[in-house]
Amino acid sequence: MRAFVALDLPEEVRQRLNLLAFMLPLPRRVPPETMHLTLAFLGEIPEAVAEEAHHAFEAIHAPAFALTLAGVGLFGGAQARAAFAGVAPEPLLAHLARKVETAARRAGAPPEARRFVPHVTLGRFRPGEADAARLERAVVEHQGFAAGPFAVRDFVFYRSHLWAEGAHHEELARYTLG
Ligand code: 2AM
């Protein structure tokens, strides 16, 4: 199965992010109900490994924290391929992401080695699909975006189903932070 670990976002934050996404000239937008903050992408893993990972995530002890979303950015530089909302620095978020990564690795599901840049993706597209100049101007214009702070009390193990209409995220388990 295709699996990842993420923070779910409060409904009002997803609505704010959806409004932000509509202020940007994006070819496609992530539907607000599937917006999330990825902690670790495990990729395709066998069910037995997912079971192991679940037990490892259950054993994580990490504090709850407050999170603020701030700013807007593009991944891919001149060849932009995604727009995202940024996250104000929060050491407890990085701490949690490290714990999830270590747990997944121990369970035999080493996450992607890309550096942890906390973000919430608003839209993904192929390079060249978006009007880069307009998009960059809109991103600069909306740098003042902020949402929260909101309480992060748990994290979620998701299974991702890829359908023609887009991704559907099935919640496998939710783990409470202390
Ligand atoms: P993204 O928000 O940066 O696109 C489920 O696919 C989640 O896992 C997405 O939110 C995605 O993050 C993240 N992810 C990280 N690495 C990925 C990869 N190589 N392929 C697909 N999704 C990835």
pLDDT of 78 reads 81
Q: What is the DSSP letter of 61?
A: -
- What's the fold here for domain 2-176? Cyclic Phosphodiesterase; Chain: A, (3.90.1140)
**Residue with tokens 């701030």, as numbered in its chain:** 70
User: In a mutational test of the pocket of ligand 1, which residue from 5, 8, 38 has the highest number of ligand atoms less than 8 Å from its CB?
Assistant: 38
* Digit-coded pLDDT (tens) for 157-174: 999 999 888 889 999 999
The identity of residue 48, as a single letter, is: A
Q: Of 41, 24, 22, give the one whose Cα is nearest residue 110.
A: 41
Contact in structure between 83 and 123 (CB atoms under 8 Å) = yes
pLDDT band of residue 65 (cuts 50, 70, 90) is very high
> Is the minimum distance from the CB of 41 to ligand 1 under 6 angstroms?
yes
pTM of the predicted model over 0.75: yes
State the chain's mean pLDDT as an integer: 96
pLDDT of 30 reads 96
Ligand 1 centroid–CA 44 distance in Å is 12
Alpha-carbon distance of 132 to 8, in angstroms, equals 30
Would you kindly state where each structural domain of the chain is located, as residue ranges? 2-176
